[in-house]
Chains A and B, each alone.
Chain A
Amino acid sequence: MRPGSTSSACAAVIRRDLTLIWRRRGDALNPILFALMVIALFPLALGPEPEQLRRIAAGVVFVALLLAGLLALDTLFRSDYEDGSLEQLVLSPHPLSLLLGCKVAVHWLTTALPLIAVAPLLGELLHLPGDVRGVLVLALLLATPLLSLIGAVCVALTVGMHRSGMLLALLVLPLYVPVLIFGAGACNAAQTGLPFLAPLLWLAAALVLALVLAPLACAAALRISLS
């Protein structure tokens, strides 16, 4: 009898989640459509003056992506909880935090990365200056994994609930505040010609910390919710 190695368990989780997302690939576009619609609401609400839109462009793109990510978070553990495979993850002989880390990584790759890819386009809709685009993408690359990791802990806390959407937002959004401030702040600083490296470095530091701590917290939270 051999229990199999941890790396093969992680590989199995990644492979299964990727296959599942491929089978439901129609859903993959939803976050992008959502972000696009939120972006489109702003010129409709504020008027089409390029000057005004340019000023708020980076912040609006950031918020739209943050909200799209928040909506996508719900799918992280929901089906696994409902069909009982989350239980199997908890009972597996491998460190739960690692397996959850793999799940979060796949989730980020399939929901956040496409959003980041279209972010410059979304910025273009709001007349974001060309030279800020790079900073926006860089800030998003650092901020969205943080959002996914922090979000995963909160999803783990609400995993057993029906209709947890609003509650999840209530739990997650206050924790998102610093990430939003530094991410959008870096873009705004770049736009006004101020130094923007410091907030990006802060994000990077926070990301390193979260990469280590969030999976552990996520596992602990999940154990609480499943008990």
Chain B
Amino acid sequence: MPHSHDSPDRRALLEGRGLAFSRNDEPVFGPLDFALHEGEVVLVEGDNGAGKSTLLRVLSGLLAPTSGEIRLRGEPLTLARLSPQVALLSHQTGLKHELTAFENLRFAAGLQGQRKGISPLSALAGVGLDGYDDVPVRRLSAGQKKRVALARVLMAPVALWLLDEPYANLDHDGIQLVNRLLERHAHDGGAALITSHGAYAYTSGTPRRIRLNRLFEDAVEGAVA
């Protein structure tokens, strides 16, 4: 199954080929083949422990794959080439509780730069937290923290979003919001890989799906490109 297509897909923003990761020599996921194109949202589904978060950490360059390769716009991936192009939202939101929402986003803007036309304040408004800029993150609810973290992703001047469980902790409006953001990002030529354990899903349109099964069941499915 690995190397099902031989020539690198030039149009793909992100492409994984025979991608697998093991920890302590125990396979976590893969081997996996997939391609993610501009304007596309791909949903990674799988049960708890199927390796969704690990996959996102591998794709973001935090972990090195055990085997296989990742290509970014057809070129082999290095952290230096990847980091200006990717924003990762992981389980830990990366927010400082002692700082206000605005201060957190200002730090993120300094660290990662900011998208043209989006400021920390407008990003906050974009996730429905108008007027919360002066509130210390400590006092926000879990869902509101998630929204601040989403505002950070929204602000990042990158084409590729890797969102780990973006729907977790969010209410109905929040889920709609995430879908709207994803749609707009895809419309603007960006791409996103999101995970979900299945309780919620990206509903607008029909996103391509990658199904990660537990490896013991020996049925790993690459998405059909």
Residues of A within 8 A of B (CB): 1-4, 8-9, 11-13, 15-16, 19-20, 23-24, 79, 82-85, 87-94, 99, 226-227
Bits for B51-71, please: 1 = Cβ < 8 Å to A, else 0.
000000000111110000000
Alpha-carbon distance A12/B159, docked complex (angstroms):
23
A9 and chain B: residue at smallest CB distance: B111
* Binary CB contact string for chain B from 71 to 112 against chain A (1 if under 8 A, 0 otherwise): 000000000100110101011111111110001001111111
CB contact between A11 and one of B63, B110, B113, B159 (< 8 Å): that residue: B110
| A23 touching B107, Cβ below 8 Å | no
Q: A3-B84, A3-B157, A91-B88 are in contact. Are A85 and B95 (CB under 8 A)?
A: yes
A84 and B152 CA atoms in complex are apart in Å by: 13
Q: Is the CB of A15 within 8 A of B112?
A: no
Cβ of B115 within 8 Å of any chain A Cβ, yes or no, is: yes
Minimum distance in angstroms from B109 CB to a CB of chain A: 7
Chain A residues with CB under 8 Å of B116's CB are 1-2
Of chain B, the residue at the smallest CB distance from A89 is B111
Q: Are B96 and A13 in contact, with the CB atoms below 8 A?
A: no
Q: B115–A93 contact, CB under 8 A?
A: no
Nearest 10 CB-CB pairs, A to B?
A12-B110, A84-B92, A4-B113, A1-B157, A93-B84, A84-B94, A3-B113, A23-B98, A93-B83, A16-B107
A8: nearest chain-B partner, CB-CB: B110
Does more than half of chain A's interface fall in helix, strand or loop, or is it mixed? helix
A85 in contact with B96 (CB, 8 Å) = yes
Do B64 and A83 touch (CB < 8 A)?
no
B158 part of interface (Cβ distance < 8 Å): yes
Decide yes or no whether B114 CB sits under 8 A from chain A. yes
- Residues on B lying within 8 angstroms of A by beta carbon are 60-64, 80, 83-84, 86, 88, 90-99, 103, 106-116, 157-159
A3-B84, A3-B157, A20-B99 known; A85 vs B94 contact (CB < 8 Å): yes
Asked if B113 contacts A12 (CB within 8 A), the reply is no
Q: How far is the CB of B29 from chain A (nearest CB, A)?
A: 16
Partner of A87, one of B90, B97, B110: B90
A171 CB to nearest chain B CB (Å): 23
Contact A12 B92 (CB under 8 A): no
